[in-house]
Amino acid sequence: MTTIATDIPDDSRAKRNVWVLVAAQAILGSQITMIMVIGGLAGQQMAPILCLATLPISMMVFGSMTTAPWLSAFMQTHGRRNGFLVGATGGLIGSMIAAYALTIGNFWIFLLGSYMTGIYMSAQGFYRFAATDTASDAYRPKAISYVLAGGLLAALIGPQLVKVTLDLTAVTFLGTYIVAILINLFGMLLFFLLDIPKPPKLEQDAPAGRTRMELLKDPKILVAIICAMVSYALMTLVMTSTPLAVVGCGFSPGNAADVVSAHVLAMFAPSFFTGHLIVRFGAEKIVSLGLFILALAGMVALSGVELEQFFIALVLLGVGWNFGFIGATAMLTAAQRPEERGRVQGMNDTIVFGCVTLASLASGGLMNCSGGSVVEGWTAVNLAMAPFLILAGGALIWLTLRPKATTAP
């Protein structure tokens, strides 16, 4: 009996950290859903040309991409808590700059604020990795899944705050950014409850781990990055254009907020059981299911532009992202070595958010500049999903067909 008991991992500290990160995802994460709803609409209001309407969202994602490598390295040296405080500070400064830009109607200063918000977005991307730092192998996929489930509350809070604050001030959208400032100030306090030790300093003779090129030659790591990249980029491609498409088809900004809210709920609601599915069926199968659901989302979106079709397509888009992205994250964490953690995670998020940046940029161009109507633009956005789904699906098939001995990390 004693032998059996000692084999049971103690995940009490990991579970406490998961709850803190869930709260951070819910509270601080609500600012991202708020900005996803209004970023393109505010950009459309101030941009010199309509093709640049979604550039504020692109700049936020670009900020996340460019800060992920140094933020990951910073956490490796100074710990998760300090890294997350840096991220919340970036969100605070970004919201303040964006609020100022709205008051003077300056699009370019607004872009600077969006970029600074990207520092927070980058930090939020590491919540899922932080959840695994003190978790056992068995609890790790569940920890990732639970932390992302905190986005459920963000999905409820963010878009509803947009509806409440939309016309709260004389300057449209200003009230939303004032609330984002308060969210960052309050959310910082949560990180003082984290109990994640700083990574130990490597001894001179300790293994340094593989280089970035060597890591990319590992089939499991390469395919995990490809699948995460495609899942996140396609979700962003479609979601970025959604408020523009909904409003452009004659519905209200409130309707657009409701569609985005349903989408973000669908992104995170499956997280309560995604980790269990990964443990039971394997990460690769769950990623495959996610890619299939993303394809279904595109087909529904192409079938028409009634409000219910927007809702169904965006719900499917959210579920597909959840399975694809969480599954890919589980694949990545299983393939890395402890000494490679910071390097792998920083490289992964740089590549993923680099492609997400391109997707958000392409979204505005396809939506506003690829046809003579909103419907033609929306069609172009959804047709663009196909080649990338083929890429990710092909990569998974290639990994599955490789001999098992050569796919070991």
Which tens digits make up the pLDDT trace of 99-134?
999 999 999 999 999 999 999 998 998 888 888 888
Taking residues 137-159, what's their average pLDDT? 81
The letter for the amino acid at 108 is: W
Selected from 3.50.50.60, 2.60.120.260, 1.20.1250.20, 2.30.110.10, the CATH number assigned to the domain covering 11-197+212-404 reads: 1.20.1250.20
Q: Kindly state the tokens that stand for 184.
A: 């960052």
| Cα–Cα distance, 299 to 12 (Å, whole number) | 44
What is residue 5's predicted lDDT score, i.e. its pLDDT? 45
pLDDT at 134: 83
Assigned token pair, 385: 């999903």
Which tokens hold the place of 211? 């280089």
pLDDT tens digits for range 49-61: 877 877 888 889 8
Q: What is the pLDDT of residue 320?
A: 96
Give me the pLDDT at residue 392, please.
94
pLDDT digits (tens, 9 = 90+) for 200-236: 665 655 566 677 777 778 888 889 999 999 999 999 8
Distance CA(126)–CA(198), nearest Å, equals 15
pTM over 0.75: no
pLDDT at 408 over 50: no
The three state secondary structure string of the chain is CHHHHHCCCCCHHHHHHHHHHHHHHHHCCHHHHHHHHHHHHHHHHHCCCHHHCCHHHHHHHHHHHHHHHHHHHHHHHHCHHHHHHHHHHHHHHHHHHHHHHHHHCCHHHHHHHHHHHHHHHHHHHCHHHHCCCCCCCCCHHHHHHHHHHCHHHHHHHHHHHHHHHCCCCCCCCHHHHHHHHHHHHHHHHHHHHCCCCCCCCCCCCCCCCCCHHHHHCCHHHHHHHHHHHHHHHHHHHHHHHHHHHHHHCCCCHHHHHHHHHHHHHHHHCCHHHHHHHHHHHCHHHHHHHHHHHHHHHHHHHHCCCCHHHHHHHHHHHHHHHHHHHHHHHHHHHHHCCHHHHHHHHHHHHHHHHHHHHHHHHHHHHHHHHCCCCHHHHHHHHHHCCHHHHHHHHHHHHHHHHCCHHHHCC
Q: What is the mean pLDDT of residues 340-344?
A: 73
- Between 296 and 34, the more confident residue is 296
More confident residue, 15 or 407: 15
Q: Sort residue 304 into left (φ over 0), alpha (ψ -120 to 50) or beta.
A: left
CA neighbor of 396 nearest in space, from 296, 321, 320, 327: 327
Phi and psi torsions of 236, nearest 5°: -70, -40
Output the pLDDT for position 219: 87
CA–CA distance, 229 with 361 (Å, rounded to integer): 15
**pLDDT confidence tier of residue 400, bands split at 50, 70 and 90:** confident
pLDDT band at 7 (very low <50, low <70, confident <90, very high): low
The per-residue pLDDT for 256 is 87
Residue listed under structure tokens 């079938």:
303
pLDDT exceeds 90 at position 9: no
pLDDT band for position 3 (50/70/90)? very low
**More confident: 341 or 74:** 74
Mean pLDDT of the chain: 85
Question: Tens digit of pLDDT for each residue in 251-262?
Answer: 888 888 889 888
pLDDT per position as a tens digit, 172-209: 889 899 999 999 999 999 999 988 887 766 565 556 66
